[in-house]
Structure 1
Amino acid sequence: MRSPVSGARRQSGRFEVPAPRLAQGISITVISGFGVITMLNVLDAVSNYVGLGICLCLVLSLYALQFMVTSAGARQWSARRRGTALVVQALLTFVPMVWIGVAWGSMAGPLGGSILLLLPARFAWPLYGTVTLTILGWSLSAHVPALEVGYFAISTALTGLVIYGLTRLTDLVREVHATRAEMARMAVTQERLRFARDLHDLLGYSLSTITLKTELIHRLVPVNPERAREEVASVLGVSRQALADVRLVASGYRDMSLEAEAASVAEVMAAADVRVEADVDCGRLHPLVDTVLATALREGVTNILRHSKVQSCAITAAVEGETVRLTLVNDGVVPQEKPRDGGGGSGSGLGNLCTRLTQIGGTLTAEATRDGRFRLVAEAPVRPVTVDAPDSGGKPSASVA
């Protein structure tokens, strides 16, 4: 298996440099080019080797500072460090002009770019304009030709803008790639949550059913072997369905029917000696709404069987206007029972159902009533809508009975 190439990727038979490095490389090349231009301008003003050596050291020092200012971490510098960097760069820009003259004026462009990068906009732009005007005034006072006056002023302004624009563009490219990587990590996390949520919703019910039917078989074997064999066949059917559900979860696709789920629930409750009144008359529902409400019914029944001493249960579902309402009411509530599920981000329990319903524009209400019953109401629009799931909200109003 071929390992990925570090720092580049192969596309169309050639290597493509990642955008952040490409943008940074362009910035470094342009800033280095400005340094070379500065040295070419100085060659006309300084003829001895000692002077050229000093100028070279000054240019290298100033552009080393410039590279630091344009680095990604410079935007996080403290105010004191920013001020120090600008003062040092200003000294390296204007002090040599006393000796070399206006030929050193091209160094003011990088200073303007640094001001724009390190200072707030309300201070940066006036100071940037002041630097440009200073070079313009210095050129006029040196009695240089008018064309050179325009050249120094315009080159100063443009150099500052180019350095500022390239640096900000490089920062933007880094941010875009960091955001893309974060989105990829979020997508992986969401898929893991989906997988965990579906496994909980599907297998929790199936395993509870298998447990109940196995207990029933255990009681029937001594007294009614024929009925026990029938229940064994039923358990096998549930286990095969659980296996199929796992495969569907892995493939990311699972449709459920509210009516079929209600019929299955009635059978399971009857096996647990629970009286069930079911009235599900919703007609044909949108597949997404049908699946979410069937999941809500399955989770509600699973919680009833696990966390209550239920003897009777009523299930109703009907379409009211543009809303489908599913209501599940049971007795046998344990008053001291604390919430077992319900964290909106837990990926399980009632919190999981809140997330599912919220994502299609629905709501979930769960509460213990005064007559010792527990009521679960799931509402969903007939036409599902896409709504961002809450980060931490959407918890049900009461614990599972």
Structure 2
Amino acid sequence: MTDSHDRSDSADESRGSRPGAVAPPGCVPHLPAPRIARTVLITALLGHALLTATSVLASGGSPAAEATGLVLLPALLALQLLHCAPSGNRAPLKRRCLTLALQALLAYLPFMVFQVLWATMAGYLAASLLLLLPHRAAWPLYAAVGLSVLVPALLQGRGLLHSVHLTQTTLLTGLVLYGLAHLTGLITHLHTTRGELARQAVTGERLRFARDLHDLLGFSLSAITLKTELVHQLIETQPARAMKEIDEVLAIAGQSLTDVRKAASGYRALSLQQEIRAAQSMLHAAGVQVRAEGEPGALSPHLDTALAATLREAVTNLLRHSNAAHCRISVARQDGAVRLLVENDGVDPAYHNPAPHSGNGLGNLRTRMTAIGGRLESGIGKDGTFRLVAEAPVRKPSENSAEPRDFMVPRNGSAA
């Protein structure tokens, strides 16, 4: 049932029809911040290209030279946009070197005609080197591009200060374009990460809700089924006791509704002491002799809830998957830890649950115990008795919870 809901929910999310669904990473560039950053980057590139275009038109050269310059500018702009793309530095190295070589030709060959008027295009090349190459090679080449503008300026007879100014402008253009492109990539990555974190939070909440429903309804529905069968047997011979059992069925149903509402609201606390009493009543109604030992005492809410859920699942599985005649429930506190033990006989070693979605109970319990730094152990002893042991520290550790030990999870007895 849970898997079918997961599939339907996933389909709704992929179509964007589920309210509050997180947009997939592919939609991130359409969010405001990445779009604004990309617009700023493209505007800066177009601005520098426009400055070069006006310089070419004002150079006083021949119409053929001006036309050639205006044709080369879009090609350089297209290469620069390709290099500034977030995926540009993930292209194969051979492809990156090829596009950089092409950009270098388009950046330096027009120098013979336009000289320093074409210097802005060298700034494009400097930015591309920083974006596409490893830093160890990129920064020396970046400096070389800046110094390369100094030579034509000096040969053209410009003063040293003016030549240094052109070099500084080229380097600054490359640095600004590199920063804008890098910042655009970081903003896009940030929004992608935020989307993934939101998706993980939604998935975690759905898993929590599914786990809580399994723990809640598995026990309650088993109890209602068992007591209803008992009422059916007693209604003719012992009507007074049948009425008492009906009252308990109604109480269980009401409590189940309350628990489901609490689970949906994100908060649900269980009591181990109450679960022990409920287990005794339920097992007695099923004709199982129960022996309860020890008192849990005062426990923190997270530990009380985890142990109560463990006992609830153990009793549910005992009734579903075994023909038990005796059951022992023991609670002990020792060395700063509390230990819950559930033992029962009547285990069928050949039992296997054919239900397609069975087997989540012990996994859920392991998750709960791991979250509070505890452990869960289950298995069949040499005498054929099934034993489930849950142990956790009385206080929740401030450090990361200890990893649970791996134990054999049988496909029979009380295992779900």
**Residue deviations 1:181-203, cap 9 Å, x none?**
11222222122111111111011
Q: Does the Cα contact within 8 Å between 1:20 and 1:170 map onto a contact in 2?
A: yes
Specify which of 371, 375, 383 is matched with residue 371 of structure 1: 383
Are the counterparts in 1 of residues 337 and 391 from structure 2 also a CA contact under 8 Å? yes
Return the alpha-carbon distance in structure 2 between the equivalents of residues 379 and 201 of structure 1.
Answer: 18
Query: For residue 93 of structure 2, what is the aligned residue in structure 1?
Result: 79
User: In the TM superposition, what is the alpha-carbon distance from 1:222 to its structure 2 partner?
Assistant: 3.3
Deviation at 1:326, TM superposition (A): 1.1
1:161: Cα distance to partner?
A: 1.4
Bigger shift: residues 314-323 or 197-206: 314-323
- Aligned residue runs from structure 1 range 44-59, under 5 A: 45-59=59-73
| Corresponding residue number in structure 2 for 1:251 | 265
TM-aligned CA deviation for residue 108 of structure 1: 0.8
Out of 401, 408, 413, which is 1:397 matched to?
Answer: 408
- Mapped to 2, the partners of 1:191 and 1:115 lie a distance apart of 45
Distance 1:388 1:70 in 2: 41
Change (3 A) 1:325 1:189: same
Q: Is residue 335 from structure 1 mapped to residue 349 from structure 2 by the alignment?
A: yes
**Aligned equivalent of 1:13:** none
Q: Which residue of 2 aligns with 1:70?
A: 84
- Aligned-pair CA distance for 1:298: 0.4
**Residues 395 and 304 of structure 1: is their aligned pair in 2 closer, same or farther, counting only changes over 3 Å?**
farther
Once the two structures are superposed, what CA deviation does each residue of 1:290-341 show, in whole Å capped at 9, x if it has no partner? 1111001101111111111211111111222221211111111221234889
The DSSP-based 3-state class of the residue aligned with 1:223 is coil
* TM-aligned CA distance change 1:151 to 1:41, over 3 Å: farther
Structure 1 runs not aligned, ≥5 long: 5-15
Partner of 1:278, secondary structure, is strand
CA pair 245-17 structure 1, distance change in 2 beyond 3 A: closer
> Cα distance, 1:91 vs. partner?
0.5
SS in 2 for 1:101: helix
Counting matched residue pairs gives 384
2: CA distance between counterparts of 1:42 and 1:147?
23
SS at match of 2:338: strand
Does 2:157 match 1:143?
A: yes
Equivalent position of 2:167 in the other structure: 153
Answer yes or no: is the 8 Å Cα contact 2:65–2:113 preserved in 1.
no
User: Counterpart of 2:109 in 1: which secondary structure?
Assistant: helix
Corresponding residue to 2:220 among 172, 195, 206: 206
One-letter code aligned to 1:371: D
TM-score by length of 2: 0.85
1:380 aligns with 2:392: yes
Question: Separation in 1 of the partners of 2:401 and 2:257?
Answer: 29
Counterparts of 1:357 and 1:367 in 2: how far apart (Å)? 17
The code of the aligned residue for 1:69 comes to H
- Out of 350, 356, 362, the residue aligned to residue 368 of structure 2 is 356
8 Å Cα contact 1:289-1:380 kept in structure 2? yes
- Alignment-derived partner of residue 37 in structure 1: 51
CA shift, 1:385, in A, is: 3.8
Contact 1:317 1:324 in 2 (8 A): yes
CA distance in 1: counterparts of 2:353 and 2:373, whole angstroms = 25
- Deviation track 1:266-290 (CA, whole Å, cap 9, x = no partner) reads 1111111111111241211101111
Residue equivalent to 1:8: none
Q: Aligned with 2:342: secondary structure?
A: strand
The answer to whether the 8 Å contact 2:89/2:133 transfers is no
Q: Using the alignment, how far apart are the partners of 1:73 and 1:184 within structure 2?
A: 24
Instruction: Rate the CA distance shift 1:340–1:351 in 2: closer, same or farther, 3 A.
Output: farther
User: Could you tell me how far 1:37 is from its partner in structure 2?
Assistant: 2.6
Q: Is the 8 A contact 2:289 2:325 kept in 1?
A: yes
Q: Distance in 2 between matches of 1:194 and 1:315?
A: 27
* In 1, Cα distance between equivalents of 2:379 and 2:366: 14
Preserved contact between residue 294 and residue 332 of structure 2 (Cα < 8 Å):
yes
Q: Is 1:355–1:390's contact at 8 Å kept on the other side of the alignment?
A: no
CA distance in 1, matches of 2:399, 2:313: 22
Q: Does 1:310 align with 2:321?
A: no
Q: Note if contact 1:354-1:394 (Cα within 8 Å) is conserved in structure 2.
A: no
Quick one: structure 1 residues 49 and 306, their matched pair in 2 at CA, closer, same or farther if it must change by over 3 Å? same
Contact 2:234 2:241 in 1 (8 A): yes
SS in 2 for 1:193: helix
Does residue 1:105 correspond to 2:116, yes or no?
A: no
Q: Residue 88 and residue 164 in structure 1: after superposition, are their counterparts in 2 closer, same or farther (change >3 A)?
A: same
Amino acid at match of 2:110: P
Give the CA deviation at 1:389.
Answer: 8.6
Task: Determine the C-alpha separation between the residues in 1 that align with 2:371 and 2:58.
Answer: 71
Residue pair 1:86, 1:114 contacting (<8 A) in 2 also: yes
Shift of 1:126: 2.4
What are the Cα deviations for residues 164-219 of structure 1, in whole angstroms up to 9, with x where unaligned?
Answer: 11111101101111111112222221221111111110110011111111222222
Q: Contact between 1:361 and 1:386, CA under 8 Å: does it hold in 2?
A: no
Distance 2:335 2:402 in 1: 26
Question: CA 1:347–1:337 in 2, change beyond 3 Å: closer, same or farther?
Answer: closer
Following superposition, the deviation at residue 137 of structure 1 comes to: 3.4
Give the 3 Å change call, closer, same or farther, for CA 339–132 of structure 1 in structure 2.
farther
Residues 122, 201 of structure 1: alpha-carbon distance in 2 compared, 3 angstrom cutoff: same
Residue identity matched to 1:398 = V
Structure 2 CA distance, aligned partners of 1:383 and 1:339?
A: 36
TM-aligned CA deviation for residue 102 of structure 1: 2.7
Residue 7 of structure 1: aligned partner = none
Alignment CA distance shift 1:390-1:124 (3 Å): farther
Q: Give the aligned residue type for 2:381.
A: T
